Amino acid sequence: MLVCCHLLGNTYAQDLHFSQFYNSVLTTNPANTGFIPDADYRLGAHYRNQYSSLMAAPYKTISVFGDAQLMRNQIENGWLGIGGVILSDVAGAGGLKSTKIYGSLAYHQQLANSSLLSAGFNLGWANKRIDASKLSFPDQFDGKFFDNTLPSSVVLSNSAVSFLDVQAGLNYAYFPTEEVYINGGYSIHHLNRPQETFFSGSADSSRVPIRHIGFLNALLKLSDRLIINPNVYYTNQSKSSELLLGMNANYNLTESGDKQFIMGLYYRAGDAVIPMVGFELNNIRFTFSYDATTSSLNNFNNLRGANEFSMIKKGFYNESNSVTRQAFCPKF
């Protein structure tokens, strides 16, 4: 495939990403680690399937993560967060497989009665491998078809590459009342600019470019039953950028809030409209979203971009923690 050949020689493609960035908290910003106002720990799983209408081998991305709070009642007006995430991705017919494992650490400190500052970083191991036998290169074109049984001048030095990866980020939360919560953050990914290439040599172009991610969101309690959650997300990596904006709405089906119905709508600028629906039952949240393509790619995939599923479980180490621990942020 020509596309796979291009990706091998060019590292300016964007990182793995999710439309439900708000549910992939550790990959969005390591300062989110342990930032769980309404629980002690959090476990999650995420699945994305993209371009299944265009490709026999669509892009599939899976992540599993967990984070928890430490020393919540031992540090004055602060606590530690610890967590980890595993990412797996398979892209295209060339069998380009990515595996990434990260460990995260963050510190959260209340600055005043209505604000909180968080800082965090993660350190990880990344591996990418490819099956060259499934690739076709330009000099294997016979005039009508690509024939990968023909000899090619393109030679891969390695079928797999591994590297160390480092991210860091900051978050700031402001909660002036019990009905208003505002949170913004900024993170830098690939701080060490690791080298990633299947070819020989150490050219600067084979280094992973730094990625910047910024987000801003709010929780606004309109009534005892209804909470809205507007979100803005922007990321930039080399010559690629992405802007997502939209809103979720949570409706309590019971007075205790243990059952909630969730709906949302997002827009990825120049690319897709993304409706989302979900529900929460006893601190387990399920959400499903669908990327309906609005770009020129719609001429080929008929709106069928990608689908995502997320599941997040929150909980306490013991039930007494929900009553006795320090409360730094409003609980919705």
How many CA atoms lie within 13 Å of 76's alpha carbon, on the beta-carbon side? Answer: 1
More confident residue, 158 or 230: 230
Question: Which whole number is the average pLDDT over 245-262?
Answer: 90
pLDDT range class, residue 271, cuts 50, 70, 90: confident
| Cα torsion 291, 295, 301, 302: sign | positive
pLDDT in tens, 80-97: 999 999 999 887 666 678
Joined together, the tokens standing for residue 197 give: 């290439």
| Cα torsion 35, 39, 40, 42: sign | negative
Question: Which whole number is the average pLDDT over 163-189?
Answer: 95
Please tell me whether residue 8 adopts helix, strand or coil conformation.
Answer: helix
Question: Which whole number is the average pLDDT over 196-219?
Answer: 82
Question: Which whole number is the average pLDDT over 37-63?
Answer: 82
Joined together, the tokens standing for residue 115 give: 């604000």
pLDDT of residue 298: 59
Question: Which whole number is the average pLDDT over 179-201?
Answer: 88
Residue 148 has pLDDT above 70, yes or no: no
- Each domain of the chain, given as residue ranges in start order, spans 2-321
pTM, to two decimals: 0.84
Residue 168 has pLDDT above 60, yes or no: yes
Rounded to the nearest 10 degrees, how much is the dihedral formed by the CA atoms of 260, 265, 266, 272?
130
pLDDT of residue 6: 40
Q: Are strands 304-315 and 284-293 parallel, antiparallel or unpaired?
A: antiparallel
- CB atoms under 10 Å from CB of 297, counted, come to 16
Class of domain 2-321: mainly beta
What is the Cα 173 distance to its own chain's centre?
Answer: 20
pLDDT range class, residue 52, cuts 50, 70, 90: low
φ, ψ of residue 322 to 5 degrees: the values are: -65, -15
Question: Which whole number is the average pLDDT over 60-84?
Answer: 91
Question: Which whole number is the average pLDDT over 50-69?
Answer: 79
pLDDT of residue 295: 76
Task: Give the chain's mean pLDDT.
Answer: 83
